[in-house]
Structure 1
Amino acid sequence: MAIEPFLRTRPQQGFLGTSIIQGIVVLTLVAIVFGKVQAVVPTSQGTYKTLPCYFALFALAEIFSVVISIDALKLRNIIQMLGIIGFQGAMIVFSALQVRQTRIALVRTPDQPGCFTTCAGPGSLWETVKPLLIAVPCVLGASWVTLIYWTRALYFEFGWAVFHAVGANPVMKKMYQYYQVMICLLKFDFFAFVGLTMQLLILVINPATPEFGLTIAAVPVVLILLFGCGVAVKREIKWMMTLSLVLMAASLSYFIFKFVRYYSPSTREQYESTRNTLTVFTVVAFLLVFSSFAVGLRCFSDFDKGLRNSKATEAIAPKRTKYGSPSGTPGMSDRQSSYLGGAGLAPRMSIE
């Protein structure tokens, strides 16, 4: 049984289809909420800025989710798919927090008859958008369960891709898995940093302050860092990997600094309507970068041990023979044996 072409199997189609349908439904719900609020309150002012940021962040998240799903399927990277499931779980938490954050932004006066905009009573703006906000984590939860189902099927389907890349050598398989984890972490680092920066620039930081300019200037620097780290770990460029790891370690202090500002008595008031979501994003970003640093050290220790060529050809599938199997490869039973931890394969493939 050969490696199946991109999007030619039911699990692949189901995984990507779930991501696309989820994105359409969630963006529709969030857009309706934004439209209803935009029609009656100035969303560019004060605590109301939570809503356009909420919409922009979910738009970024859903586009990112679809793009990274396509990428994972093309690379046959099951570790990245597990990362997508974790990402979905984080978005469920974020969307649930946004229900409370939106209430804080909209409800600012005691309930009274005829109060539509700033109250929480029946017929108010809050009661109008509340069901739509609650529906978002429900949709994400249903999609999350469905993605777990498809990922399980893809785990068995893509098992052969790992064997094709690195052969049956368990040491090489372990090194290759750490490499895949590193590449996956760098992609999620990108979203976490951009998402956090977007919230800070839209909701909190005053454009007239030096912090605003520094935050904007940090965006291209971090993007170059992430891209450079990806190139370094794939091509095993030691000096570039060393620089990336040093900058990664230094960036952890930034997340600690921001976290302290959220709760410091002198600055906590400016984060009142966004503290919960910013805290979640900052903690997740810190953990992702820290994990990237730790896994990066492990990948660096694996340089010059024979894995470089396998990294360069990881997405290239072997040619089919007239019998339907890749040329020069064993059958399905041997393939499952190698990937799922069974007996050794014969003959073994070398790392080309």
Structure 2
Amino acid sequence: MPDLTPLLGTRAQRGFLGTVVLQGIVVLTMTGISFGKVAAHVNTGSNRLFRTLPCYFALFILAQLFHIILTFDALNLRNIIQVVGLLIFQACLTIYGGIQIQETRTALVQTPGADCATNYVTCSGPGSLWAAIEPFQIVVPIICGLALGVMIYFTWKLYQEFGWAVFRMVGADPELKDMFRYYQIMIVLLKFDYFAFTGLTMQLLILVLADRSAQFALTIAAIPIVLILLTACGYAVGQEIKWLMQISLTLMLASEAYFIYKFSRLFASGSRHQYDSTRKSLGVFIVASFFLLLATFCVGIKCYLDFDKGLKSSKIREPNSLPRWRRDAMRESKSAHPMSPGPSPDVRATYYTAGEPLRERISIE
């Protein structure tokens, strides 16, 4: 039976969102303490090695806010595909948190054999700055890993509640359901593309903030271009605008070249020194962003090939997948006009109602 409960009306929904929020509070507290301890003793902008801490802290702030917003969005839309995407995102955060431990140590421990009494910041023994923040660094991937396990449990419960919603919005036609599934995957990928690009740009700006070079200008210029690209692509795939989709797909390939270029900068002789303490984590981030955009491009091609096949006229969202205020407005409108005709047979065919026999379904040609 379909889920007719309001947003956050079930234990699984509250549990999933609560897990993400609680993790965000703990992770941001741990990273905030680490950053505060470092900032109290060193100027993080004075040395490229020290910039890994503000880079790490800023990325986790962005990641946790993004995680909470997309979790609420997924529960509001009853979108199980997006929920699964959040699990993958959570796994990536866990891995990134683990990588960051070693990179933070590389940034701070520059004289490992030195006496910590006179080299508190750069030594590695007991009583060093690294020893003071190491426990807080270790807690981050542990908390993320535990939260991932809890989220997997609640995802199974959520699938039982509304896993049907994505696949039954366009009637019984299997071809339309397949096209709609790819459309939903495309929209979810674009949402994660926003985070990947914003996170990468933010890290690069922090690392080269003091270098007023062509690289800095190029990074700044890329921000509006890519954000406009992603927005235009989402609009094009939703409205099935072929020329705009063609431009978006072409620019995606150009963006892939940008990722390759940025990855090469991590190892080029003239720029590798800028990334001494962030090469591993930034490299993993760039590679992940590259393959995420590549997946978006491939799914975008599939969506483009599905244009003009009847999906646009069949993108009728179920009342139960609409935000609550929209459902209330629909009920008020219906009560205010009791004699007004109901939805067309094609629309009724996509609705599932509780306590009523299903009406005859009319296939969509």
Structure 1 and Structure 2 fold alike (TM over 0.5):
yes
Give 2:311's aligned amino acid. Answer: L
> Judging changes above 3 Å, is the alpha-carbon distance between structure 1 residues 31 and 138 closer, same or farther for their aligned structure 2 residues?
same
Distance change in 2, residues 1:113/1:302 (3 Å): closer
Deviation string 1:156-206 (CA, Å, 9 cap, x unpaired) is 211332354111222111111111110011011111111111111111365
Rounded Cα–Cα distance in structure 1 between residues aligned with 2:271 and 2:37? 31
- Number of aligned residue pairs: 339
Mean CA deviation greater in 213-222 or 106-115? 106-115
Q: 1:280 aligns with which of 265, 281, 284?
A: 284
Is the aligned partner of 1:26 residue 2:22? Answer: no
Contact 2:208–2:274 (CA under 8 A) maintained in structure 1 = yes
Match of 2:141 in 1: 137
User: Could you say which residue in structure 1 is the equivalent of 2:361?
Assistant: 348
Instruction: Write out aligned runs for 1:189-268 (5 A).
Output: 189-204=193-208, 206-268=210-272
Q: Which amino acid aligns with 1:48?
A: F
CA distance in 2, matches of 1:265, 1:278: 17
In structure 2, stretches of 5+ residues that fail to align are: 332-346
Q: Give 2:114's aligned amino acid.
A: D
Equivalent position to 1:316, from 316, 322, 328: 322
- Kept after mapping to 2: 8 A contact 1:80/1:184: yes
> Which residues of 2 match residues 121-200 of structure 1 at below 5 A?
121-200=125-204
Q: In the alignment, is residue 270 of structure 1 matched against residue 239 of structure 2?
A: no
Partner residue, 2:341? none
The answer (yes or no) to whether the contact 2:116–2:127 under 8 Å persists in 1 is: no
**Per-residue CA distance 1:73-116 (angstroms, 9 max, x = gap):** 11111111111111111111111111011111111112325132
Give TM-score scaled by structure 2 length: 0.86
Whichever residue aligns with residue 87 of structure 2, its letter is I
Contact 1:12 1:150 in 2 (8 A): yes
Spell out, residue by residue over 1:262-283, the C-alpha distance to the aligned partner (whole angstroms, 9 max, x if none): 1223332221111001101110
Q: How far off is 1:45 after superposition?
A: 1.7
User: Which residue does 1:89 correspond to in 2?
Assistant: 91
- Alignment partners' CA distance in 2, 1:266 and 1:134: 33
> What CA distance in whole angstroms lies between the structure 2 residues aligned with 1:160 and 1:291?
24
Moved over 6 A (4+): 317-320
How many angstroms does 1:117 deviate by?
1.3
Q: Distance in 2 between matches of 1:330 and 1:303?
A: 27
Task: Compute the RMSD of aligned alpha carbons.
Answer: 2.6
Q: What is the rounded CA distance, in whole Å, between the counterparts of 1:208 and 1:327 in structure 2?
A: 60
For 1:84, the aligned partner's letter is L
Secondary structure at the counterpart of residue 112 of structure 1: coil
